[in-house]
């Protein structure tokens, strides 16, 4: 018997050895002793991309989609920041107007207080 007659697959591994390896890996997977990706340790066929195809187009389109998503998210964040700046400006104007109005009220209360104090002093001097 010729050793090459026993080899039926690629890699020079006899068929019964291939089955033994596959069965061993399946048994390990059933026992959860082996990670899920371990069945690909001994691939029987290598997946080699064709030389004529351009595999870079997928990477470029994925990059462009990612870039567009990042730009959209950035635009949304900038719009939100501008909205917050405008809202903060409006709130500050409201607070300034209220403070000015309360300042006038405080000035009016001071005038009334001084009038009352003068009147009380006059009444006190008239009683003496």
Tokens of 17: 């050895």
pLDDT recorded at residue 128: 73
DSSP letter string over the chain? --HHHH--SGGG--HHHHHHHHHHHHHHHHTT-S-GGGGGSS-SS-----SSS-THHHHHHHHHHHHHHHHHHHHHHHHHHHHHHHHHHHHHHHHHHHHHHHHHHHHHHHHHHHHHHHHHHHHHHHH-
Cα distance between residue 61 and residue 51, in whole Å: 20
Instruction: Split the chain (128 residues) into runs of 10 and give each run's mean pLDDT.
Output: 46 68 72 56 49 62 94 97 95 92 90 94 86
pLDDT at residue number 35: 54
User: What per-residue confidence (pLDDT) applies to 3?
Assistant: 47
Output the pLDDT for position 47.
47
pLDDT of 125 reads 87
């Amino acid at each position: 018997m010729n050793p090459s007659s026993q080899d039926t697959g690629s890699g020079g591994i006899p068929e019964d050895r291939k089955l033994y390896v596959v069965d061993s890996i399946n048994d390990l997977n059933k026992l959860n002793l082996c990670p899920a990706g371990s069945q690909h340790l001994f691939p029987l066929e290598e997946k080699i991309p064709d030389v004529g195809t351009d595999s870079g187009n997928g990477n470029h389109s994925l990059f462009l989609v990612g870039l567009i998503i990042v730009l959209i998210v950035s635009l949304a964040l900038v719009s939100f920041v501008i909205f917050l700046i405008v809202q903060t400006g409006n709130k500050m104007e409201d607070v300034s107007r209220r403070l000015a109005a309360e300042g006038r009220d405080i000035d009016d209360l001071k005038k009334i207080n001084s009038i009352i104090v003068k009147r009380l002093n006059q009444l006190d001097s008239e009683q003496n």
